[in-house]
Amino acid sequence: MDDNAPVITLKNGLDLPALGFGTWMMGENAAHAGDEVKAVRRAIELGMRVIDTAEMYAHGGSERIVGEALQGLRGEAFLVSKVLPSNASYNGAIRACEESLKRLRTDQIDLYLLHWRGGTPLSETVWAFETLKQQGKIAAWGVSNFDVEDMEELLSLENGENCVANQVLYNLSRRGIEYDLLPWCQSRNIAVMAYSPIEQGRVLHSPELIHIAKAHQATPAQIALAFLLEREGVMPIPKTSNLQRLAENAGALEIELTEDDLERLDRAFPPPVSKMPLEMI
């Protein structure tokens, strides 16, 4: 990744590369583990060093893959994991984090997220996150799948303003957050991690995307990622276990979309004109 690659600056002052890496569906099948470990390691080498996982993925299997991949590379990576809402009580979150640390074979998670909002009062989860921070088990915390109303409530709580990121569904075919949540987060310097940034492959067949890709001698996935990388404070986290597609995704950093490209994309994937409830996958 070159020196001009886009960067996200977290509220705590830390600069991160704007293109990260997802690991959902890794750790499901032992026959693929070797390739998955290689993909995580290669992502870090390519500069996609924000590695996103969760206790939920493959019931801890994804964290185990990441833990294996990070052997000897822990210092290079920025590690993100998530606690399930069913574990988000004070004691539950502390226990879940300790279990994640064991699977990840590290003593600190760089960013720990509440995967989505459940029945536990937010204040209790924030208390657990702040305790984990004091204990050095996490360096920072955030949330995932929170719409504006949830964010408002979170930030009204004691220490709620310490939230540094919100990980949400965002890609060309899911632009609802541009209406309100994205500007809301941007104005408060809360990073938006864009999950399913190529809509799990489903947007790649769009004729408009294919047309723009051809004009740039690029691929539809690269254009879909470049569209997100254009936006301030947005970090797409594409997942792949395939080294060729990984190199392709990293290539999105080289693409500069023109005004004409952006207008074409707006016509094919119209931005929201009114409030749309936050979608989840």
Name the site residues for ligand NDP (rule: CB under 6 A).
22-24, 52, 115, 144-145, 167, 195-201, 204, 221, 237-242, 245, 248-249, 281
Q: Which is nearer to ligand NDP, 242 or 258 (CB)?
A: 242
Task: Tell me how far, at minimum, the Cβ of 134 lies from ligand NDP, in Å.
Answer: 25
Residue nearest to ligand NDP (CB): 22
Residue with tokens 């977290």: 10
Q: Which is nearer to ligand NDP, 210 or 281 (CB)?
A: 281
Strand order of the β-sheet with 50-52 is: 21-22, 50-52, 78-83, 109-114, 138-144, 163-169, 191-195, 234-236
Task: Tell me how far, at minimum, the Cβ of 115 lies from ligand NDP, in Å.
Answer: 6
Q: Which is nearer to ligand NDP, 13 or 191 (CB)?
A: 191
Out of 57, 112, 170, 195, the active site residue is 57
Task: Tell me how far, at minimum, the Cβ of 223 lies from ligand NDP, in Å.
Answer: 11
Q: Which is nearer to ligand NDP, 31 or 273 (CB)?
A: 31
Burial class of residue 72 in the structure, from the number of CB atoms within 10 Å of its CB (0-12 exposed, 13-18 middle, 19+ buried):
exposed
Instruction: Reply yes or no on whether 57 is catalytic.
Output: yes
Q: Which is nearer to ligand NDP, 195 or 227 (CB)?
A: 195
- Residues known to be catalytic: 57
